[in-house]
Each structure stands twice: as C-alpha cells, then as structure tokens.
Amino acid sequence: MKKILVIFLLFTTFLFAAEFTSEENSAFGTPIQKQINKSATTYVGSKNLYLSYLNYPKHIYKNQRFEVEVKALITRSNYDYIQTRFLDGKNMTPLNPEESWKKTNSSNTYANKYYFKAYDSDFKMPDIEVRLYKGKTLIEERTIQGLDVSFSEIAKSDERFTSVIAKDFKIINSKTKQYTNTEALTILDIEAYDSNLEDFYIKGIEEQGITLIEDKYPSQHIIYYLVIPIHNKSIVFNYYNASLNKFEKIVVPVVLEDELVSTQTDLNPNNSSFEFYKKIGVGILSLLALILFIWKRKYVFLILFLILAIVFMLFAMPNKTIKLKPKTVIYILPTKNSTIFQKVENGAIVEDMKRKNGFVKIMFASGSNNFIGWVKEEDVIKN
C-alpha cells in the first residue's frame, strides 16, 4: 500500500512540474522567441514587402542622367503610405527622391523611377529602403542593395562636345540678331529626351547661358543664348546619342535678321541722332523764345520760354534707376512671346526708360556697352 502511495505522489508531482514548465515558457518565452515577438511589435519581418529592380544601368557616362526603376510587391493592405530612403550612397543622390510610387497593372504591385547623375568616377550607388507606415507607425520595411555600375568619361578632347548625352535631341527654332557692331546674339530653342540639357555648353564662346529651362524629365526644354562674332555663318556642336551609341553633329545656320536686339535703331537711344536733334531743337526754340521776350517784352514769350526750358531739362535729365529681382528675364520686345536674350542672376540696378503693357523698358550695362531690353513690371523691386 505504501509503495502504491509513493508511486501516486511521484506521478502527481511530475504532472504538476510539466504543467508549470509549460505555463512558464508560454508566459515568458525563450530568448529567441522574445526577440521575434519584440521585433513584431515594431514591424513585421518583411513578409509582405518584396523589392526588385526592373531597370538598372550597367554602364554610365560622366554627367549622364540615368534611370533606376524599382518594383515593390506589397501583399498587405493595412498601411497608409510608402516612404523611400537612399542609404550609404557616395557622390550619388537621386534627382527626384520624392517621386510617388505608381500602381502597375498587376495586383499589389507598385513601381517607381528614380533618376541619378554621376559627376565623378568615385561614386557608389545607394541602397534603396522602402518603408510602409500606418499613420506615424512603421509597420514594415525592406532594403534592396545598390548594384555596381561601370563609369567612363567621353570626348575629353572633343572641342565640339557640349557635355549633353541624350536619346533624342532637337533644335526647335533659332534666331540671330545684331547685338553690337561686331557681335550677334543667337537664341536656340532646344528639346531633348533622357538628357542632361542643364549641362549644355559650347566651348570657345565666352558669353552664353540658359535663360529658361523646363525640366519634366525624361523630357527637357531650354532656351539658350549665345553671343557670337557677327561674321559667323553657322554654329556647330556635337552631342552623344545614347540610343545609337555615337556622336551626332548639329549644325545651326546663322541667319542675321535686320533688326537690332536693343532698339532696332541704336544700342543706346539716348545717343541716337533723333534724340540728339530733338534736344537741340527744343534748346534752340527755348533760346528763341527768350530772345523774343527780351525784344518784344511780351509775357507770352516768357511763358513759352519757361515751358520749352522745362521740356529741355526733362529731355536732358538722366532716367531714374530701378532694381531688378534675382533671376529676372530680359526680353527683346514687350510681349509674352518675345525672344529671351539674357537673364539677371543676382539682380541689377538699371535705368527705367518707359512702361508699356505691364513691361518696363530698361537700359543696362554689359562690359563697356549699354543695351536695351524689356522686363516684366513684377520683376522690379518696389521701394
């Protein structure tokens, strides 16, 4: 009987210990299980987010814009928005880091196109981290590593290379007008696709620049100005065609239009013969009125003299000056569709000559010469 009682007690103790151990493990978990549970409170271990590359270059050139397309398969629905981060890149950042993810035709699949640009061979493509948020809470994330890309610089010794690499490049229009007695101003209207038009530069021309750029990548559009010798018959340059993998030669004929850039008559209207003779004429009339007053002693001649003297002083007075806002565009004519020929990067003090249709006619100095143009009234800083 005692043996049976001892066996019963041992069996009961074993059962109780086993149940206690099971409850303890369930309540506290093993170290590995605790780590998994703790991780799950922050985000799920990327079981519902998968990343892959749809398009990735193997080789790039200096200054070339290139595209990296990423696909995200998201099998969960309880999230509010997607955030992208770029990690551990070197000398390489996306040009459109805030680009929104777009849903594809496939269910739960999104895609995004990021554009990059390399200026130097010492670069590293960044890793791309995609995060899913519910409100402000991170619920899932995954990172895809940046791949290796080879780099080279082309046309180092080509004096005609404009630094532009594009899949398509077109001169939409060009205009050339006399700028000074020895120089002409050429305006180029350029469109390109998958390009770096912002780097467009023609070697050997001192005065040139972009006056307008519209960047809706992969499409780009710029208005470019060049000051060239007046005897030039053409402008010749090269760009690299990334579709054909070869250099393309562009020849722009220079056809000089009759009108001058400044006033269609003289670079400085204050120094024109018409202005000069107008001032001389008013001066002579005022002097004649004064002589008649002294001779005839009639006040009508005195009044006429005073009026003419005031007009003469108004003609002789210099124009008042105004200050332009930074990045003000100067037009040839006071119209919205007028050709742009210069852009004031840092603002400038210029002469206010005339106002018309929301534009201000200005005279400004460039080197030792004075030039005339039109700016919008909204680009003038009010005192």
Q: What is the 3-state secondary structure (H, E, C) of the chain?
A: CHHHHHHHHHHHHHHHHHHHHHHHHHHHCCHHHHHHHHHHHHCCCCCCEEEEEEECCCEEECCCEEEEEEEEEECCCCCCEEEEEEECCECCCCCCCCCCCEECCCCCEEEEEEEEECCCCCCECCEEEEEEEECCEEEEEEEECCCCCEEECCCCCCCCEEEEEECEEEEEEEEEEECCCCEEEEEEEEEEECCCHHHCCCCCCCCEEEEEEEEECCEEEEEEEEEEECCCCEEEEEEEECCCCEEEEEEEECCEEEEECCCCCCCCHHHCHHHHHHHHHHHHHHHHHHHHHHHHCCHHHHHHHHHHHHHHHHHHCCCCEEEECCCEEEECCCCCCCCEEEEECCCEEEEEEEEECCEEEEEEEECCEEEEEEEEHHHEECC
Confidence label for 277 from pLDDT (cuts 50, 70 and 90): low
Q: In the predicted model, what is the mean pLDDT of the chain?
A: 80
7-16, 22-31, 211-220, 290-299, range with the lowest pLDDT: 22-31
Q: What is the mean pLDDT of residues 282-298?
A: 83
86-90, 134-138, 179-183, range with the lowest pLDDT: 179-183
Using the predicted structure, report yes or no on whether residue 253 has a pLDDT greater than 50.
yes
pLDDT at 356 (0 to 100):
82
pLDDT at 266 (0 to 100):
41
Q: What is the mean pLDDT of residues 236-259?
A: 90
